[in-house]
Amino acid sequence: MSDLTLVIGNKNYSSWSLRPWLLLKHLAVDFQEIAVPLDAPDAAAHIARYSPSGRVPVLLDGDRVIWESLAIGEALAERYPNVWPADAGRRALARAAASEMHAGFAALREELPFNCRARRSGVFPSAAAQADITRIVALWATCRQTVQAGEGSWLFGPFTLADAMFAPVALRFYTYGIALPEAAQAYVDTVRQDRFIQAWIQAARQETAVIPAEDRGEPVDPATA
Ligand SMILES: N[C@@H](CCC(=O)N[C@@H](CS)C(=O)NCC(=O)O)C(=O)O
């Protein structure tokens, strides 16, 4: 049995939980999951049993408790190879991009809540959210400029922690039908086609909880999508 346990929220709504989960899957690391339904009346007390910050995700590593998605990624980087790009220049860029995501894009995150099993219309980003989208598209292009043909279709070729940080953003773009330049759309497609992302979305579809505050826009008819 693995000594790693990841405490996460609802797969449909918890974008932060997806980040370390996806990284662990790509690292082929065995771990256990504890799911805390964020919509339950006792959610805060339930999370507090594991998390000093009162938030998920949290990685329980033996006696160690590691919270904050990026810190979990860094802890895994100390233990496993290939969390960051091997090349120092790419690694610096990957860390900057991951940190920018972790600290920023508040308007985008507020206006386009993570809802990975859904497709929605009628959600129009404000100027601030559109500026976040423009910045993300430029950042992805900067990352991809470092990649040679044949190295892979993630931000730095092979999957890294930078992709774990941006995968939920790519899924948001899909959920809300955000129009993107071709290269950015290709990255969204890479994320959506990933087998672990597909497994996560499949599990989100099995969840029955609906959190109204996180459920914006109108359902898109799959027949017309
Ligand atoms: N900066 C944190 C954000 C974690 C976060 O906001 N988690 C949400 C779920 S996606 C949460 O725990 N919400 C419960 C609450 O705030 O009560 C990270 O990177 O892990």
| Tens of pLDDT, residues 171-181 | 999 999 999 99
Instruction: Classify residue 220: in a domain, yes or no.
Output: no
Asked if the structure places residue 55 within a domain, the reply is yes
Rounded mean pLDDT for each run of 10 residues along the chain, 225 residues in total: 91 98 98 96 96 97 96 97 97 98 97 97 96 98 96 98 98 97 98 98 96 90 67
Containing 110, the helix (H) or strand (E) segment is helix 106-111
Quote the domain boundaries for residue 111. 88-204
Q: Say yes or no: 101 and 36 in one domain.
A: no
Q: Within this chain, do residues 125 and 147 fall inside the same structural domain, yes or no?
A: yes
pTM higher than 0.85: yes
Question: Within this chain, do residues 97 and 56 fall inside the same structural domain, yes or no?
Answer: no
Half-sphere exposure for 52 (CA within 13 Å, toward CB): 7
Q: How far is CA 183 from the centre of its chain?
A: 19
CATH of the domain at 103: 1.20.1050.10
Question: Is 214 part of a structural domain of the chain?
Answer: no
Report cis status (omega within 30 of 0) of the bond before 57. yes
Q: Within this chain, do residues 159 and 95 fall inside the same structural domain, yes or no? A: yes
In angstroms, what is the span from residue 25 Cα to ligand 1's centroid? 20
* 95 and 191 assigned to the same domain: yes
Each residue's pLDDT tens digit, 117-157: 999 999 999 999 999 999 999 999 999 999 999 999 999 99
Asked whether residue 107 falls in the same domain as residue 187, the answer is yes
Ligand 1, CB within 6 Å, residue ranges: 9, 14-17, 38, 44, 54-57, 68-70, 102
**Domains held by the chain: number:** 2
Q: Domain check: are 11 and 69 in the same one?
A: yes
Q: Is 140 contained in some domain?
A: yes
85 Cα to the center of ligand 1, angstroms: 26
**In a shared domain, residues 193 and 100:** yes
Whether residue 67 sits in one domain with residue 114: no
Helices (H) and strands (E) counted in the chain, each on its own, are 9, 6
User: 20 and 74, same structural domain?
Assistant: yes
The secondary element (H helix, E strand) that includes residue 88 is helix 88-103
Instruction: State which of 56, 65, 99, 109 you would mutate to test the pocket of ligand 1, scoring each by most atoms of that ligand within 8 A of its C-beta.
Output: 56
Assess whether 65 and 100 both reside in one domain. no
Burial 176-186 (b: 16+ CB within 10 A, else e): bebebeeebbe
